[in-house]
Chain A
Amino acid sequence: MSGYTSNPRIRAQESLPWIIAIAAFFLLPEYLSLGARILVYILFALSLDLILGYAGIITLGHSAFFGLGAYTAGILGAKYGVTDPFVQLVAAAAAAALLGISTGAVILRTKALTLLMLTLAISSIVLEIANKASWLTGGADGLSGVQVAPILGLFKFDLFGRTAFIYCLVALFLGWLLLRRLIYSPFGAMLTGIRENTARMHAVGAPVYWRLVLVYTLSATMAGVAGALLTQVNQFVGLNVLGLEPSGDLLVMLILGGVGRLYGAFVGPVVYLVAQDYLAKQYPEYWYFGIGVLLIVVVLFARGGILGLSDKWLQALSRRRSSAKASAR
Chain B
Amino acid sequence: MAASALETQKLCKSFGALTVADDIGLRLSPGARHALIGPNGAGKTTFVNMLTGAIPPSSGRILLGGEDITRVNQAARVRRGLGRTFQITTLFRKLPVLDNVALGIAERDGVARRMWKPASRHAEIIGEAERLLATLGLSADARTPVQDLPYGRQRLVEIAIALGLKPKVLLLDEPAAGVPSQDSHHVLDVLAGLPADIAILIIEHDMDLVFRFASRITVLVQGQVLVEGTPQEIAADRRVRDVYLGEASHA
Contact = CB atoms under 8 A, between A and B. Distances in A.
Which of A4, A190, A196, A199 lies at the interface centre, i.e. has the most chain B CB atoms within 10 A of its CB? A4
A115 interface: no
A58 B167 CA distance: 34
Contacts of B164: 204
B110 to A, nearest CB: 10
A4 B102 contact: yes
Contacts, number: 123
Given A4-B122, A204-B103, A185 B117 contact: yes
A241 B117 CA distance: 35
A2 interface: yes
Contacts of B115: 181-182, 185-188
A197 B93 contact: yes
Contacts of B52: 203
A204 B117 contact: no
Contacts of A7: 120
A192 B142 CA distance: 18
Interface string A168-195: 0000000000000110111111101100
Contacts of A196: 92-95
Interface residues of A, number: 30
Given A196-B94, A197-B91, A205-B108, A189 B117 contact: no
Which of A188, A202, A208 lies at the interface centre, i.e. has the most chain B CB atoms within 10 A of its CB? A202
A187 B78 CA distance: 19
Given A185-B118, A193-B103, A205 B78 contact: yes
Nearest to B125: A4
Given A185-B116, A204-B108, A205-B75, 16 more contacts: A3-B95, A4-B102, A4-B103, A4-B119, A4-B126, A5-B143, A186-B112, A186-B115, A188-B115, A190-B113, A199-B86, A200-B91, A200-B92, A201-B103, A204-B78, A205-B165
Interface of B: 52, 74-76, 78-79, 84, 86, 90-96, 98-99, 102-104, 106-108, 111-122, 125-126, 129, 142-143, 161, 164-165
